[in-house]
Amino acid sequence: MAATIEIVLPPDQSEGNTHQIGQWLKQLGDPVRKDEPLLEIITDKVTVEVAAPADGVLAEILKQQGDSVEKGETLGRISVGSASGARTGEFQPSELPLQPAAPPTTELELSPAVRRLIQERGLDPSRIKGSGRGGRITVQDVEAHLLPHSPTAALPHRLVPHSPMRKAIAEHMVRSMHAAPHVTALFEVDVSRLREHRKAHSAEHITYTAYFVRASVAALQAVPEVNSRWHDHGLELFEDCNIGVAVALPGGGLILPVLQRAQELDLLQTARRLEDLTARARSGMLEPREVQSGTFSISNHGVSGSLLAAPIVIPERQAAILGIGKVEERARVAAGRIEARPMAYVTLTIDHRALDGFQANLFLSKWVEAIEQWS
């Protein structure tokens, strides 16, 4: 008689605030090897693979694509120790638990994501046709059921299902806006010195974002309350400047790879680290540790042409996020003369529980000073 081993979501592999099942890389009855990837977990920060805990046969899949899961939750089971299946890779049907062909859909059989959506919309699950395994209701089934009741349902349209990452990001944004009162301060910065420095070091291919990170380190060290996390019992001030930089992904969505201990890097090291993190973020090659432990974030939304975005939603467990708009030539009065200067709008959106306006303004003053006096 074969034994079974549970496939669980490991706490050290599940960085993020939400976790959903992505794609199963193996099917029921497939032989698996220890440490071989079994499935993908998609969070609001990164996609990670869950590996097989032992050699054997995939005997049960308990969580389907799109289901929400918690750290430590059982995702499926592997059958091990059979006379042939676990050793030769040959599937033994007798090792698998019997699955009813078309089980009735009850509340106990609804995934957490489906149950939450049904409760929010006040729906009767018995009236929803399930397309999942054995007639199970999926999130897509609920959304398709809701569509005919929309006032715009008669209009020509097509429905593009949300990806698990898009849903995770949406949930994260709503939670952050609900928990933290967002307030945004706006300054303007002259980047003439940066432009001159970049031109003098053109061979190094240093992006504006690298300079923005260096200025952020200087401002965080001058106003340490910005590099913090709110708790009901006090404000947690961080010694390290672990700066997340928002990266737009080719298939949609956003991720925040983190420059750990950015205060220890110089400009060139910062530029190289950013280049590496950005490239691997866009190719889906980041490791979980590379999106962990951020204490402050930057959204350089100007790279896509935006002049101003406010408020920018603060990442959970942080107190502020910096936003930098497009650099463009604008008129500026200096020494009584009007000159065309490369200017950009810069914002700091703060958690007003943790910070007040004067601290936001002081941070931005130090940040602008670091940029405008760059040498």
Torsion angle of the four alpha carbons 304, 306, 312, 313, in this order, in degrees rounded to the nearest 10:
-40
Query: By CB neighbour count within 10 A (0-12 exposed, 13-18 middle, 19+ buried), where does 329 fall?
Result: exposed
Q: Nearest CA to 68 among 22, 125, 27? A: 22
Question: Which H or E run includes 106?
Answer: none
Judged by DSSP in three states, 138 sits in coil
Q: Are 371 and 340 in contact (CB under 8 A)?
A: no
Tokens at 126, concatenated = 């018995």
Angle made by CA atoms 17, 144, 154, in degrees to the nearest 5: 130
Q: Are 39 and 24 in contact (CB under 8 A)?
A: yes
Beta strands at 320-324 and 337-351: parallel, antiparallel or unpaired: antiparallel
Question: Which H or E run includes 6?
Answer: strand 3-8
In the 3-class helix/strand/coil scheme, how is 176-203 assigned residue by residue?
A: HHHHCCEEEEEEEEECHHHHHHHHHCHH
Distance of CA 156 to the CA centre of its chain: 33
Query: By CB neighbour count within 10 A (0-12 exposed, 13-18 middle, 19+ buried), where does 105 fall?
Result: buried
Catalytic residues: 352, 356
Question: What is the C-alpha to C-alpha distance for residues 290 and 255, in angstroms, rounded to an integer?
Answer: 11
